[in-house]
Amino acid sequence: MEATNSIDRRKFLKITGISGAMLAIGFESLAMDMGDDPMVKAMMAEDFIDGTAINPFVIIGEDGQITIMATIPELGQGINQGIPAIIAEELEVDLNTVNIVKSSATRKYGRQSIGGSRNTRSLYGPMRKLGASTREMFIQAAAKRWGVSADQCYAKDGQVFKKGSNSGLAYSALVKEAAAIEVPKEPALKSKKDFKIIGKSFPRPDLALKVSGQADYGMDAQTEGLLYATIERCPTLQGTITSFDEGAAMAVPGVQKVMKVTRNVYGNNNVGLAVVASSYYAALQGRKALNIKWNNAEFTGISSSRIDKELTKLENEDGYEHVEKGDFKATLDQAAQKIEVRYDLPYLSHTCMEPMNATVHVKEDGTCEVWAPSQSPQVQRQFAKILGIPENQAEEKIKVHLPYLGGGFGRRSMNDSLFECLQISQAMTKPVKLIWSREDDTSQGPFRQRTAHLMKATFDANKQPIGLQHKMISQAITTQGRPSRGRLPFEVMEGINTHYDIPNISTRFVEYKNQIPIHWWRSVFGSTNGFAHEGFMDEVAVMAGEDPLKFRKDRLKSEPRFVKVLERLEKEADWNKKLSKNEGKGMAIVESFGSIMAHAVFLKKEKGKVSIPKVVSVVDCGVYINPDQVAAQTESNIIYGLTAALKDPITFENGAAQQANFDTYRMLRMNEAPRSIEVHIMENDEAPGGMGEPGLPPIAPALANAVYDLSGKRIRRLPFDLQRV
Partner 1 sequence: MAKYTLNINQKQVTVDADPQTPLLWVIRDEVGLTGTKYGCGIAQCGACTVHLNGNPVRSCSLPVSASSGQQITTIEGISENESHPVQKAWIEAQVPQCGYCQSGQVMSAVALLDKNPKPSDDDIDAAMSGNICRCGTYTRIRKAIHNASNEISNGSN
Identify which of 605, 631, 594, 597 has the alpha carbon closest to the alpha carbon of residue 701. 597
For residues 591 and 655, is the Cβ–Cβ distance under 8 A? no
SS3 409: coil
CB of residue 293 vs partner 1: minimum separation in angstroms?
25
CB of 87 to partner 1, least distance (A): 21
Of 183 and 275, nearer to partner 1 (C-beta) is 275
Q: Residue 1 or residue 461: which is nearer to partner 1 going by CB?
A: 1
**Distance in angstroms (rounded) separating the CA atoms of residues 567 and 315:** 37
201, 78 contact by CB (below 8 A): no
CB closer to partner 1, 78 vs 517: 78
Would you state the torsion angle of the CA atoms of residues 585, 590, 593, 596, taken in this order, to the nearest 10 degrees? 80
CB of 460 to partner 1, least distance (A): 43
CB closer to partner 1 out of 159 and 617: 617
Nearer to partner 1, 228 or 602 (CB): 228
In this complex, which beta carbon is closest to partner 1, that of residue 203 or of residue 545?
203
Burial 191-219 (b: 16+ CB within 10 A, else e): eeeeeebbbeebebbbeeeeeeeebbbbb
For residues 149 and 676, which CB has a smaller minimum distance to partner 1 in the complex? 676
Is there a contact between 170 and 63 (Cβ–Cβ < 8 Å)? no
Is the Cβ of residue 622 or residue 674 nearer to partner 1 in the bound state?
A: 674
Q: At what angle do helices 548-555 and 560-572 cross, to 10 degrees?
A: 160
User: Radius of gyration (Cα) for the chain, nearest Å?
Assistant: 28
Which one, 10 or 666, has the nearer CB to partner 1?
A: 666
CB 345 within 8 A of CB 718: yes
Smallest separation (angstroms) from partner 1 to the CB of 694? 15
Shortest Å, Cβ 77 to partner 1: 7
Smallest distance from partner 1 to CB 665, Å = 10
Least distance (Å) from partner 1 to the CB of residue 29? Answer: 29
Which residue, 357 or 378, is less far from partner 1 as judged by CB?
A: 357
Smallest distance from the beta carbon of 669 to partner 1, in angstroms?
4
The DSSP secondary structure of 134-168, one letter per residue, reads: HHHHHHHHHHHHHTS-GGGEEEETTEEEETT----
How many Å from the N-terminal Cα to the C-terminal Cα in the chain? 52
Decide: 100 and 207 in contact? Cβ < 8 Å.
no
Distance CA 594, CA 690 (A): 6
Give the containing element (helix H, strand E) for 185: none
Q: Which is nearer to partner 1, 264 or 278 (CB)?
A: 278
- Cβ–Cβ under 8 Å, residues 697 and 590: yes
Residues 461 and 544: beta-carbon distance below 8 Å: no
Residues that bind partner 1 (CB under 8 A): 1, 75-78, 203-204, 206-217, 219-220, 222, 226, 228, 253, 279-282, 285, 351-355, 404-409, 435, 437-438, 628, 632, 635-640, 661-663, 667-671, 673-677
Give how far Cα 58 sits from Cα of 108, 138, 197, 709, Å.
Answer: 13, 12, 17, 54
Numbers of helices and strands, H then E, in the chain: 18, 28
Shortest spacing between CB 220 and partner 1, in angstroms: 4
Least CB distance to partner 1 at residue 495 (A): 20
- The smaller minimum CB distance to partner 1, of residues 354 and 538, is found at 354
| Whole-angstrom distance, CA of residue 432 vs CA of residue 131 | 39
Q: Nearer to partner 1 by C-beta: 172 or 629?
A: 629
Which residues have C-beta within 8 Å of that of residue 581, sequence separation ≥ 6? none
Could you give the CA distance from residue 453 to residue 451 in angstroms, rounded to a whole number? 7
Report how far residue 542's alpha carbon sits from residue 7's, in angstroms, rounded to the nearest whole number: 71
Specify the residue, 331 or 349, whose C-beta has the smaller distance to partner 1: 349
Residue nearer to partner 1 on the CB measure, 398 or 405: 405
Residue whose CB is less far from partner 1, 80 or 380: 80
Residue 104 or 629: the one with the smaller Cβ distance to partner 1 is: 629
Min dist. Cβ of residue 82 to partner 1 (A): 13
The tally of CA atoms less than 13 A away on the side-chain side of residue 572 is 23
Angle at 546 between CA 545 and CA 549, to 5 degrees: 155
How far is residue 380 CA from its own chain's centroid? 22
The CB-of-617 to partner 1 minimum distance in angstroms stands at 12
The C-alpha atoms of residue 107 and residue 386 are separated, in whole angstroms, by 19
What are the φ and ψ backbone dihedral angles of 574, each rounded to 5 degrees? 50, 50
Nearest approach, Cβ of 282 to partner 1 (angstroms)? 7
CA distances to 67, 108, 381, 554 from 396, in Å: 23, 12, 11, 60
Q: Which residues contact 231 (CB under 8 A, 6 or more apart)?
A: 261, 263, 272, 273, 274, 275, 287, 420, 434, 436, 440
CB of residue 340 to partner 1, shortest distance in Å? 35
Tell me how far apart the alpha carbons of residues 200 and 40 are, in angstroms, rounded to a whole number. 41
Q: How far is the CB of 353 from partner 1 (least distance, A)?
A: 4
Residues ≥6 apart with Cβ < 8 Å to 537: 497, 500, 548, 551, 552, 588, 701
